[in-house]
Copies of this chain bind each other. A is one copy, B any other.
Amino acid sequence: MAMSNITGSFQLMKSLNRSLVLNKIRSAGAVSRAEIAKETKLTPPTVTKLVGELIESNLVKESDMGTSKGGRKPVLLTINDRQFFAIGLDVGARKIRGVLTDLNAKEIVNDQVDLHKDISSDELTMLMIKMIKSLITVSNVKKEQIVGVGVGMHGIVDNEKGVARFAPSYHLREIPIKDSLKEAVNLPVFVENDAKAMALGELWFGAGRGFDNLICVNVGVGIGAGIIFNNRLYHGNNSVAGEVGHTIIDLNGRKCSCGSYGCLQTVAGGDSIAERAIRELSFGRKSLLMNKTSTRDEISGELIYQCAIEGDELSQDILSETGKYLGIGMTNMINLMNPAKLIIGGGVSKADNFILDPLKEVVSKKALTDEVKNTDITKSELEDRATVIGAVTIVLADLFTPDLLNLK
């Protein structure tokens, strides 16, 4: 299909403006009709009408009076955040987290459950359903008030079909999450890759606010990226976009779980951190890690973060090296996609700046032009809640900014 296949119509016009107004209210927190008119370039009568409909549908409410600027006081409008709610699930390698939030993604209740490695598709689905039901029960919210369920799932996800194509942590394939949950709880369900959910979460509620073109990288055992163009998630042609962990940065590197050699993941993924520590220790290097563990298996990324913060030199060195490798991967990504902002999330958030600083240094040395050398790089603001809030955000995005222009 060539072209921006968008047919202009009255519905489009109205939907566009409705979204515009709704989103202005959402992103501003509280605005008057007059200000909306000014900022959206809609006329006051139009804004009045649209706001009226939004109030009618209970999405928006009039709240306080604003301060006068020399005339009549403005009536401030806010999202009616006690009327509707959204549910988000973060289906990670070792546990499922869940939250039920209001329309500002403010948490009302949360829940979590541990997973075992050899869980089956049915068990997993069942746990998700159970959690959704529990969140609803505990929060004491009516089901009609819930606008949808978002799922941030690790691995390869087909977001259109709502299927987890491949979940490496439990070696499961083709889990029909959307269909299963939809049938069980009778709510709209959205399924998305965890890094993509995270990116959307950071865009709306975290470090990405105000940007419309960013990349958020989830560094854990795997390394995935969520790419945002024009305020929307970019999925690519087969929902595979963002697999930065499997970009090759070392032709002669070690074999990766994907079969290739020298993937970023093999030198900067969570497992590689622990392996590097074990190797260094076997060379006889001293470290706090020795005092805190009795067997090799106890050495984990988290522990190394902890020790680094406590001043352990080996741990710091390891994280620094990880940061450098990660920096290479990020530089490649920056040279290719030139995002306005790069957000680093996942376990790394816990590693203070031991990873981030060397990462930034590599980018500032190796990226191509002065402008991209200075790419704005920060760590996740939502930290370990990024994916679950991101999952909620998928639901909110559908509510607040429906994809009117059928951009893929």
User: Which A residues fall within an 8 A CB radius of B?
Assistant: 1-10, 12-17, 19-20, 23-24, 27, 40-42, 156, 165-166, 203-204, 209-210, 212-213, 225, 227, 229-231, 234-244, 246-253, 258-260, 262, 328, 331-333, 335-340, 365-366, 368-369, 371-372, 375, 401, 404-405, 407-408
Contacts and interface: CB of A to CB of B under 8 A. Distances in A.
B3 A27 contact: yes
Given A165-B369, A335-B246, A408-B213, A15 B8 contact: yes
B244 A4 contact: no
B338 A248 contact: no
Contact of A231 (B2, B242, B333): B2
Given A227-B337, A247-B336, A252-B252, 11 more contacts: A3-B20, A12-B13, A212-B408, A213-B236, A238-B371, A240-B338, A243-B336, A243-B368, A248-B249, A336-B336, A336-B337
Contact of A230 (B252, B262, B407): B407
A contact patch SS: loop
B336 A242 contact: yes
Greatest chain B CB density within 10 A among A12, A240, A262 is at A240
B230 A408 contact: yes
A249 B262 CA distance: 9
Contacts of A405: 4, 6, 405
Nearest to A20: B7
A4 B236 CA distance: 20
Contacts of A40: 7
A60 to B, nearest CB: 16
A203 B10 CA distance: 31
Contact of A209 (B2, B13, B236): B2
This protein's copies in its complex: 2
A354 to B, nearest CB: 21
Nearest to A28: B2
A165 B258 CA distance: 39
Contacts of A340: 237
Contact of A244 (B19, B336, B375): B336
A263 B225 CA distance: 21
B366 A231 contact: no
A234 B234 CA distance: 12
B23 A16 contact: no
B4 A335 contact: no
Contacts of A335: 240, 243-244, 246-247
A371 B240 contact: yes
A156 B369 contact: yes
Contacts of A8: 12-17, 20
6 contacts: A8-B12, A8-B13, A229-B229, A240-B371, A241-B336, A243-B336
A52 to B, nearest CB: 17
B27 A210 contact: no
Nearest to A406: B230
A369 B238 contact: yes
Contacts of A252: 250, 252
Contacts of A372: 238, 240
Contacts of A404: 4
Nearest to A10: B13
Contacts of A20: 3-8
A126 to B, nearest CB: 27
Nearest to A237: B340
B339 A210 contact: no
Greatest chain B CB density within 10 A among A15, A27, A407 is at A407
